[in-house]
Amino acid sequence: MTITNIILSILVICAAMFIIYYISRKKKNEQVEETINVDDKTYTLDVMRDFVKRRLDEITKVNLYDIGLSEEELKRRKNKKYELKKALKGCTYGDVNDKKYVKELIYDLLAQEYGVDETNISKAIPFDIPSLLTAQDKFDILIYVYKKEFGYEALTELIKKYNLAELKYVEGETKPSYVITEQEIEDIYEKENITLSFADKLSIVVQRIYQHYKGYSSIDEVRDMNIDGVSGGVSGLPESFLSQVAQTDGDYLDQIAEHKVPRACDSIWIFFQGKSIRLAFLSFGTEAELKRVCQNIYKYNNPGQLSDTNGYKINEMKDGSRVVVVRPSFSETWAFFVRKFDVKRATLEQLVRDPGKEDAIELLKFLVKGARITAITGEQGSGKTTLLMGMIENIYETMNIRVQETAFELHLRKIYPTRNILTFRETDTISGQEGLDVQKKTDGSVNIIGEVATDPVASWMIQAAQVASKFTLFTHHAKTFPNLVTALRNSMLRTGVFTDEKTAEEQVVQVLNFDIHQVKDFRGKRYIERITECIPVESKNEYTFDHRKEKTLEGKFDKFFDNATHYFTKSTDKQLYTYRNILEYIDGEYVITNPITDENIKDMRNNMDETDAEAFDRFIERHWGNKQTVQVNAEVEEKPKRGRKPKTNV
Query: Which stretches of 406-481 are assigned E, i.e. beta strand?
Result: 421-425, 446-449, 471-476
CB neighbour class for 649 (10 Å; exposed up to 12, middle 13-18, buried from 19): buried
3-state secondary structure of 446: strand
pTM of the model: 0.73
Band of pLDDT at residue 438, cut at 50, 70 and 90: confident
pLDDT (tens digit per residue) in 58-79: 888 877 777 777 788 888 888 8
CB neighbour class for 615 (10 Å; exposed up to 12, middle 13-18, buried from 19): middle
CB neighbour class for 266 (10 Å; exposed up to 12, middle 13-18, buried from 19): buried
329: preceding bond cis by omega (within 30 degrees): yes
Do residues 452 and 474 touch, judged by C-beta distance below 8 A? Answer: yes
Do residues 391 and 415 touch, judged by C-beta distance below 8 A? Answer: no
pLDDT (tens digit per residue) in 531-580: 999 998 876 666 667 666 777 777 777 777 777 776 666 666 667 889 99
- Beta strand pairing status for 589-592 and 577-586? antiparallel
Which range has the worst mean pLDDT, 232-236, 361-365, 494-498, 540-544? 540-544
pLDDT (tens digit per residue) in 79-92: 888 888 899 888 88
CA dihedral 17, 20, 26, 28 (to 10 degrees): -100
What does the pLDDT average to over 117-123? 89
pLDDT of res. 571: 64
| Of the ranges 57-66, 191-200, 620-629, the best mean pLDDT one | 191-200
CATH of domain 128-207+214-340: 3.30.450.90
Domain residue ranges in the chain: 128-207+214-340, 346-539+577-624, 540-573
pLDDT of res. 555: 75
- Beta strand pairing status for 514-520 and 374-377? parallel
Is the model's pLDDT at 611 over the cut of 80?
yes
Closest CA to 264 of 244, 243, 290: 290
Contacts of 67 (CB under 8 A, 6+ apart): none
pLDDT (tens digit per residue) in 9-48: 777 676 667 676 666 555 544 444 444 444 456 888 999 9
Do residues 512 and 534 touch, judged by C-beta distance below 8 A? Answer: yes
Give 316-355 as a DSSP string: E-TTS-EEEEE-TTTSSS-EEEEE---GGG--HHHH--ST
Cβ neighbours around 277 below 10 Å, total: 21
Query: What span, in angstroms and rounded, lies between the C-alpha atoms of 297 and 334?
Result: 12
Beta bridge partner(s), residue 536: 577
pLDDT-above-70 percentage for the chain: 84
Which amino acid, residue 569?
T
Fold for 346-539+577-624, please state it: Rossmann fold (3.40.50)
Is the model's pLDDT at 192 over the cut of 70?
yes
Query: What span, in angstroms and rounded, lies between the C-alpha atoms of 525 and 521?
Result: 6
Which range has the worst mean pLDDT, 172-181, 289-298, 536-545? 536-545
